[in-house]
Structure 1
Amino acid sequence: MVYMWKSRRRQRVSFDRNSSKVLSSKNIAKYSKWGFLGIVGLFIFLIIALPLMSFGLPSPDKVVRREGFSTKILDRNGKALYDIFDNERRTPINISDMPLYLKQATVAIEDKNFYTHSGFDILGTIRGLSRVFTRGYAQGGSTLTQQLVKNVLLSSERSALRKIKEFVLSVQIERKYTKDEILQMYLNEAPYGGTAWGVESASETYFGKNAKDLNLVESAILSGFPQLPSKYSPYSSTPKAYVGRTTDVLRRMREDGYITKDQENAALSELPEFKFQTKGSSFKAPHFVQHVQKILEERYGASVIEQGGLKVTTTLDLELQEKAQEIVAEEIANVEKQRITNGAVVVLNPETGEILSMVGSKRFDDPDYDGQVNVTTALRQPGSSFKPFTYASALKEGYTASTMVMDVETTFPGGEGLPDYNPVNYDGKYRGPVQMRYALGNSLNIPAVKFIAMVGIKNVLETAYEMGITSLPPTKETLSRVGLSLTLGGGEVRLLDLTGAYSAFFNGGTKAELIAILRVVDNDGKVLEEITPKRGKKVLDPQYAYIISNILSDNSARSDAFGANSQLNISGRQIAVKTGTTNDKRDNWTIGGNPQRAVGVWVGNNDNSPMLNVASGVSGASPIWRRIILESLAGL
């Protein structure tokens, strides 16, 4: 009995073993079948599906950007002022201008196998695709080549299909371009935060320098941004997040043998208190840049300016510009208690009309008084600074600097239906018989009105217009709205025009055709325009220009009104200068110069409210003018 039970038990065990072997064989066969089908499917996908899919993909040639580059505005010495762009500020550079540390840091943190793979990382791709089944979208595992494809050729959509497209294009690009070409394209296309795309724009934005001048720390900082620029940018809501990210970059660089432990530690010590360029400080000479942009858009169109990658060399002297801006801010701060809140400056080369400096307000980014308004191109009343055009017209009519005129109380008939006109001098006094030289030098009002009455309003308008006052053409419409008070500033002019018109007095009578742009080169290096500054056409007889300039530089001729040691007297130099103040003290001007430099200054308030107290030749525009004319003539 016992024997039979044991025998049956051995048979059952043997049967179970045989059954397990059969099941195991079946499973192997089953898995082999599915494996074979998978291999066949992958083969079909690679041989048929991928090529078919590639027909609907962008050409890999399009990875080389042909447009979408920002236009770079430079000063006359090649210093960067600003980049004009649509939505993305991008300036392409050659890989030879990218520092080694930057290239090494980027490869170390983004794609350590960049130089050995063929455009994709198998493990990274599998890891990325696996996210489809865990989070509903694919992410991660992208090589530099794949990131380049995503940035330039595909959308930022997260899906398995886009990953496949990315894979196909990456393989095609790897076959077509060298590794250095791919790295160059990536570094010119990567996002670095805000509007900064590409390392050159990023370097200028955050450090105020060209990418070729980046050191190890700066290279490591920038290399960490593309992964999540909205977080790692120091201008973001997490301004210190870059520290941890840069620490990772430096560690990777050390692990891959690019830097030593000592270099890593030295770089890490700089991170916590690293100083970035102030946000927005890369916008130099903003009013001038906007003036140039308007000119460019009129010539080439807005789309070309925003995406064509032009390089524009301007007439501006950035060093002088920054000094002038500083002087305006300092001097206005000194007189704000007198209700003077703003100032503007123009510096020209009177021989050629080149704009060397344009300060449109004391501070561009101040919202309290519309700092972005460019007062150099705004219409304001010039006060007595308009008088030289009246006296130049008188010279053309045969009057001389010694012509005598009576400075006495005078009533000028207003004409039919108009009130009489009774001008008064700034001090309410009368001086009797005075020569033109004395009358102009001391800025007497009654003699100026008598001279415009004698030579005619239209003649004065023609003289001013020919010299560059574009806002007062000698037309019937202008004549219908101005009268004898024109000579005292009864019309409106622009500081830029007024300074340009005065240049004819300083240069011997030729019109200063205002120039802001010297050279324009397109993205391919083709010169679109190049201007050689030259003297303009003659608009005033040289002897008349000399006489006006001589009177305005004669310190003794103005000493009764301004004193012998006013701000207008420049010791050791012959500088012609004229001031102007409107009767209601809303505008105060000083315009002056010599054959080398012309400087125009305005002070007042953008809201047109009156100043409390301003004295021409002592306060207001004159101190600003004096400092800037001396600065502009230094070394000449």
Structure 2
Amino acid sequence: MGRAEARRAQNSTRTTKGKKPKKTGIRRFFTWKKLLAYFVGLIALGAGAFVALYLYVDVPDSKTATKLQSNIYKLSNGTVLARTGQVNREEVPLSKIPKNIQDAVVAAENKNFWTDPGVDVKGTARGILNTVMGRGKQGGSTITQQYVKNSYLSQEQTVTRKVKELIISLKVQQKVDKKDILAGYLNTSYYGRNAYGIQAAARAYYNKDVDKLTLEEGAYLAALLQAPSQYDWTVATDDGKKNAQNRWNYVLDKMVEMKWLTAEKRKDMKFEVPKDPKPPKGMSGQNGYLVKAAEQEIERVLRAQGRSESDLAAGGWTITLSIDPTKQKELEKAVYQQVTRKLDPQARKVDAYAQVGAASVDRKTGRVVALYGGQDYLKHFSNNATREDYQPASTFKPLIFASALQNEAKNENGQRITAGTIYDGTSKRPVRGGDTAFAPENEDDVSYGPVTVQESMNKSINSAFAQMAVDVGLGKVKKTAVDMGMNGKAGNFEEVPAMSLGSMGASPLRMAGAYATLANHGKKVTPTLVASVTRNGGQKLDMPDPIGSQVLDRTNADNVTQILKGVVNDGTAKVVQNATYAVAGKTGTSDDNKSAWFSGYTPGLVTTVGMFGEGPGGKQVPLTNTGGHDGRINGGGYPAEIWADYMSEAADGDTEFDLETDEAAVVPPPPAPPASSQPSTQPSHTPSATPSRQSQSPTPSTSKPPSQQPSSPPASQSAKPPKPPTPSNKPSPSTGGGGADGGTVPNGGREEPKN
């Protein structure tokens, strides 16, 4: 090698020794500068992605399921009657949840809730990592995040859901007050026993409202949030019970740590075992009838206020009924004792068709204190207490007399109609002065000749009241009846002579309202089953006052009560006499014996009982021979017996009516005419007892003079034991079982009620 080549080789060696050799392959990408750049870039990329997601992800509408709540129906004493709806949840405002129980939940779930930013980034990251690695559910979420998960997202364990939870929580934290977040969390969380929300949980575990919970009880509910099923004391294993008690201690200790509970009070606290779960309240028995009747009443109020009926279906309502549990039990017992236990559908086909409905109303308040809709709502859905497809028959007659008094009506002879006015009680006597031919038959075709209005009411004489209705004016009679609470809709209440016999449709509840108006001295009573309605512990639904305006003058109303006392003292309703309280009332038996009624009242309580024959497909059928009774079922039979049995236990308060009666309505009987002037005409059938009578004038509304010597007015109410024995159901012309309750109607266009 030459001298020049050696020199070049030497220079090349020097250059190589002064510089580091270049990295080749993959190593050239991992210089410390490049790693730092990668890290910064990754952070920037993550931050950019998060900002993009933050801008992209909106707070969605809350889930429909979290808005759904159950409706709670309670009796007047606070006992839960039923719970309706798909979700057992009742939202309450934070103000109803005791502060110490709020503190217990915060201490257990997120002690820094009031000061944190609403998210736990570290916990969320840990949860995402564990989810990716398949380690299952992990804790660490704040109350805000759990509220967001409950209210806006699903419960699935996915990375996408957890990222959304983080972003939405940040947004919710900025827009929603912490108190509202806590309230939302407490009202949406699951506590086990199918209870969503702390109010439902309080009911499920302690059978009380949340505002009545002790701190010990609230601490247990707070402990349940970690593992509801495992910590439910009733079904928990031994380890589950131990863990539940440890968690309970943890909750209270955290409260002490946060200075929300003193150590001294904490030391005295002992774990209390929660109550066993009760079967869910269903719609069986009377529950369904009560709930559905209350729903219908509330829906009517919502419509009247221009609101949608769907408001009720959305849930969250607490409906307190006016039902008195003791009276309700007595009414159910009376129906069973007097009717149900006597029925044997296997032996008698007709027994399968017997239906009973009843309603009992406090006349002073208008509140329904007891209601009987049928033997079992799950077996017979139609509510017999509110159905209006059966005729009230002769229980309508007092309303005719009320209209006569209110309108100062006169009979054919121009005399004011009072209790003493004379009418012709001849069976099938054609009504005079009407536009439609009508000649109603009395029960068993009995003719009574001239009788007073009092006697006509006592014996339930159809011919007399048919003439009275025309004398008053059918339109005026209907107006009075509607004013008193009856349904005046076209098709249900036709202005025809047959309306005098109760040919319209009516329910026991409607008739109880009309009679309550009489008992309330003429002030209209619209019976209400609903005492109060609140939503989510605060919002109230304004219910109309059941006591309305004066629709009858007091004297007129009291005169009707006076005459109805006679029906009990000496008429078709003797079975309801009671020595401990005064009674006024009227029986009724409809055409072909398809329904039988008794409407009556004491000074404080009004009760109507109806019995209906309902065959297959809802077809109306006769009640004849029901329960082994031989013959017709009259209003003075089963219905009056149920009434007497129930009222002997339920009647309370005043025992005498406070009446302001018109003395002109009660006068001595007319003097007997001279023997030579006695007519030869006799009734077609002589009653077994001489009718008593009161008279304002001896001149009857017909040209025929009296055919019998009248007796003195009815005596005062005779003494009976507080709970009279059940009499025979067999009618007689004098007491009539159901009274002298007319027959078929030959000229009315169709057959009409008898009683």
Is the pair's TM-score, using the shorter chain for normalization, greater than 0.5?
yes
- One-letter identity of the residue aligned with 2:277: F
Residue number in structure 1 paired with 2:152? 153
Is 1:94 the counterpart of 2:104? The answer is no
Q: What is the CA–CA distance in structure 2 between the aligned matches of 1:601 and 1:610, rounded to whole Å?
A: 17
CA drift of 1:554 comes to: 2.8
Q: Which residue of 1 aligns with 2:423?
A: 405
Match of 1:386 in 2: 396
- Contact map agreement 1:461 1:474 (CA 8 A) in 2: no
CA distance in 1, matches of 2:486, 2:231: 48
Q: Residue type matched to 1:317 in 2? A: S
1:517, 1:348 → 2: CA distance?
12
CA distance in 1, matches of 2:138, 2:437: 82
Instruction: Deviation per CA, 1:378-417: give whole Å up to 9, x if none.
Output: 33211221121233344433222122334344354999xx
CA contact (8 A) 1:192 1:222 kept: yes
* Number of equivalences: 584
3-state secondary structure, aligned to 1:599: strand
Amino acid at match of 1:440: M
Quick check: which one's helix share is greater? 1
Corresponding position of 1:553: 565
Alignment of 1:202-601 (within 5 A): 202-204=201-203, 207-215=206-214, 219=218, 222-223=221-222, 240=235, 247-255=242-250, 258=253, 267=272, 270=273, 274-280=275-281, 285-298=290-303, 299=305, 300-307=307-314, 316-318=321-323, 320=324, 322-334=325-337, 335-336=339-340, 337-338=342-343, 339=351, 342-350=355-363, 354-357=366-369, 359=371, 361-362=373-374, 366-370=377-381, 373=383, 375-395=385-405, 396-397=409-410, 398-410=416-428, 412=430, 423-425=441-443, 429-452=446-469, 455=472, 457-471=474-488, 478-479=494-495, 482-484=496-498, 486-513=499-526, 529=542, 535-538=548-551, 540-554=552-566, 557-559=569-571, 561-563=572-574, 566=575, 568-593=576-601, 596-601=604-609
Q: Give 1:247 shift.
A: 5.0
For residue 310 of structure 1, report the CA deviation from its aligned partner: 6.9
Q: Separation in 1 of the partners of 2:86 and 2:239?
A: 32
Whole-Å separation in 1 of the counterparts to 2:383 and 2:193 = 25
Q: Is the 8 A contact 1:390 1:448 kept in 2?
A: yes
Say whether the 8 Å CA contact 2:119–2:141 is kept in structure 1: yes
- Cα distance in 2 between the residues matched to 1:68 and 1:88: 9
- CA–CA distance in 1 between the matches of 2:584 and 2:401? 15
Find 1:631's aligned residue among 647, 650, 665.
Answer: 650
TM-score of the two chains, using structure 1 as the length reference: 0.73
Is the contact between residue 575 and residue 594 of structure 1 (CA under 8 Å) also seen in structure 2? Answer: yes
| 1:597, distance to aligned residue in structure 2 (A) | 3.9
**Structure 2: distance between partners of 1:41 and 1:440:** 99
Q: 2: CA distance between counterparts of 1:588 and 1:35?
A: 97
- Once residues 146 and 533 of structure 1 are traced to their aligned partners in structure 2, the CA distance between those partners, rounded to angstroms, is 48
- 2:74 and 2:644 mapped to 1: Cα distance? 26
**Normalization by structure 2: what TM-score?**
0.63
Cα offset, 1:201, TM superposition: 3.3
Contact 1:505 1:548 in 2 (8 A): yes
8 A contact 1:382–1:491 mirrored in 2: yes
Name which of structure 1's ranges 594-603 and 255-264 shifts more when overlaid on structure 2: 255-264
For residues 292 and 466 of structure 2, the distance between their equivalents in structure 1, rounded to whole angstroms, comes to 36
State the SS of the aligned residue for 2:386: helix
Spell out, residue by residue over 1:324-378, the C-alpha distance to the aligned partner (whole angstroms, 9 max, x if none): 43223212222222338643333445466x33336251466x32222x6363243
Give the C-alpha shift of residue 511 in structure 1: 3.3
> CA distance change for structure 1 residues 303 and 509 in 2, over 3 Å: closer, same or farther?
closer
Deviations 1:185-240 (A, max 9, x none): 311222346985321233345654211223577546645666787x6799xxx983
Whole-Å Cα distance in 1 between the matches of residues 154 and 331 of structure 2?
48
- Residue 49 of structure 1 aligns to a residue whose secondary structure is helix
- 3-state SS in 2 of match to 1:550: helix
Matched-pair contact (CA < 8 Å) for 2:70–2:315: yes
Quick one: which amino acid aligns to residue 375 of structure 1? A
Partner Cα separation in structure 2 for residue 499 and residue 452 of structure 1: 21
> Which one is further off, 610-619 or 575-584?
610-619
Partner secondary structure for residue 301 of structure 1 = coil
Same amino acid, percent of matched pairs: 23
CA separation of 1:245/1:40 partners in 2, compared to 1, >3 Å: closer, same or farther? farther
Contact 2:70 2:85 in 1 (8 A): yes
- Structure 1's unaligned 5+ residue stretches are 1-21
Report the CA distance shift for 1:248/1:219 in structure 2 as closer, same or farther (over 3 A): farther
* Shift in Å, 1:137: 8.8
Aligned: 1:165 with 2:161 = no
Residue 17 of structure 1 corresponds to none
Provide the residue aligned with 2:659 in structure 1. none
Alpha-carbon displacement from aligned partner over 1:133-174 (angstroms, at most 9, x marks no partner): 355997765443321111123344543122112123334555
8 Å CA contact 1:130, 1:138 repeated in 2: no
Contact kept, 8 Å, 2:609 with 2:643, in 1: the verdict is yes
Equivalence for 1:130: 129
Quick one: distance in 2 between partners of 1:587 and 1:469?
A: 18
Maintained 8 Å contact 1:324/1:628: no
Whether the 8 Å contact between 2:223 and 2:247 is mirrored in structure 1 is no
Distance of aligned partners of 1:226 and 1:438 in 2 relative to their CA distance in 1, 3 Å threshold: farther
- In the other structure, the counterpart of 1:41 is 42
The SS at the match of 2:638 is coil
Partner secondary structure for residue 511 of structure 1: strand
What amino acid is the match of 2:422? M
Alignment check: 8 A CA contact 2:429 2:463 kept:
no
State the AA in 2 paired with 1:254.
N
CA contact (8 A) 2:299 2:312 kept: no
Residues 594 and 456 of structure 1, relative CA distance in 2, 3 Å threshold: same
Matched residue, 2:635: 616
Quick one: structure 1 residues 444 and 76, their matched pair in 2 at CA, closer, same or farther if it must change by over 3 Å?
A: same
**Contact 2:568/2:583 (<8 A) preserved:** no
